[in-house]
Amino acid sequence: MEPMEDASTMERMMMQRAKKTRTPINGSLELLPLCNMNCDMCYVRLSKEEMEAQGRLRTLQEWLEIAGQMQKSGVLFLLLTGGEPLLYPNFKELYLKLQDMGMILTVNTNGTLINEEMAEFFGRNKPRRINVTLYGSDEEAYRNLCHYPGGFAKVIQGIRLLKEQGIDVKIGGSLTKANQNDVDRLIDIGGELDVPVRINTYMMPAVRERNKPYNLQSRLEPKEAAKARIQALRGEMGEELFAQYIEKSLFQVENIVCEETLGRMSCMAGKCSFTINWQGEMRPCVTMSEPAMSVFEVGFDAAWKYIMEETDKILLSSKCSACKLRPLCRTCAASAWSETGDYEGVPDYMCQYAGETLRLLQEMAWEKREEKYSWINDFR
């Protein structure tokens, strides 16, 4: 997963420079695994009992100690996430202290806890952005998928309150079988609220479902996910930009030079970006379970050095390196491990996903060509 995929041009330049110098400029703190919702596809959430069986929440002072070390090492961009980060007992104090250290903060939230008081807090202490996940277009989705009746109305109200405070908000949509028909409506809701929408149609397999066949998992089956991806991109981009996307994507597939060799990670993870989970384990990204090292045991710099060195050792499938579908495929180290249990594994899910994406783009390109030259039929 690429960190800060919605970064500005200046932010991307800073990230690229940090990648070359191996400076940990971007990170995320998973403050806790607890959440007031219980979404079927979640791979993070634990109940309070499950959490206590595995460990404890880190104190405010523990996080601030690590934050001071992060500051000295060059960390600038920081994402606060969870679970639901607003449930962290000392969230506001931690947030303010991190801002005082010069951190540029982004917050991931499900939006249900954004009331007037919380919106005003963010209005007085503006983050870089607040990412709000919208799990469906009505209360039924929140009841059936998130097991949180009344959640939809709370999220919409929360977004409105944040907008009233002049806060930059982005809606993230996560498609599953329970809400797969909501693509267009989610985009419409974003338009109505004047908030950009980014719909994620590829979901990592939930921990509780990893050993089940695709048709028994909460996430969409591969070809359904590909179809939803195309539909979402079309809605997000608009017809003109989407036509350019089709042309560019097909050109890349047709002209890619493939070589069968073991691949290496090309993203920012472990190069200039990291995550620290609620137990204090640093990892290259939020969806990778290893390599991992406890920052509370060895300190931030030693943990970062270990993560960099171990990330450099990760090799990816040579079959993937030689695949013509690479420009359309979303396979990365994290998804390979999550899907197959092996960084060098070839995820069948992603193969089907990319193959169907290509088929759909080719079909749409042909339709557009026929439409463009339909006037010829008038002379026959």
From first to last of the 380 residues of the chain, give the pLDDT tens digit: 345 667 778 888 999 999 999 999 999 999 999 899 988 777 788 888 888 888 899 999 999 999 999 999 999 999 999 999 999 999 999 999 999 999 999 999 999 999 999 999 999 999 999 999 998 888 988 998 889 999 999 999 999 999 999 999 999 987 778 777 888 888 899 999 999 998 888 877 766 566 677 776 778 889 999 998 999 899 888 889 999 999 999 999 998 887 767 677 878 999 999 999 999 999 998 888 889 999 999 999 999 999 999 999 988 888 888 888 988 888 888 888 888 888 889 999 999 999 999 999 999 998 877 766 554 555 44
Domain ranges of the chain: 9-109+201-237+268-318
Q: What DSSP assignment string belongs to 157-189?
A: HHHHHHHHTT--EEEEEE-BTTTGGGHHHHHHH
DSSP at 219: B
Q: Measuring CA to CA, which residue among 116, 58, 106 is closest to residue 80?
A: 106
C-alpha angle 43-170-351 in degrees, rounded to nearest 5: 50
d(CA 110, CA 342): 31
Overall size of the chain counted in residues? 380
Cα 178 to chain centroid distance, Å, stands at 19
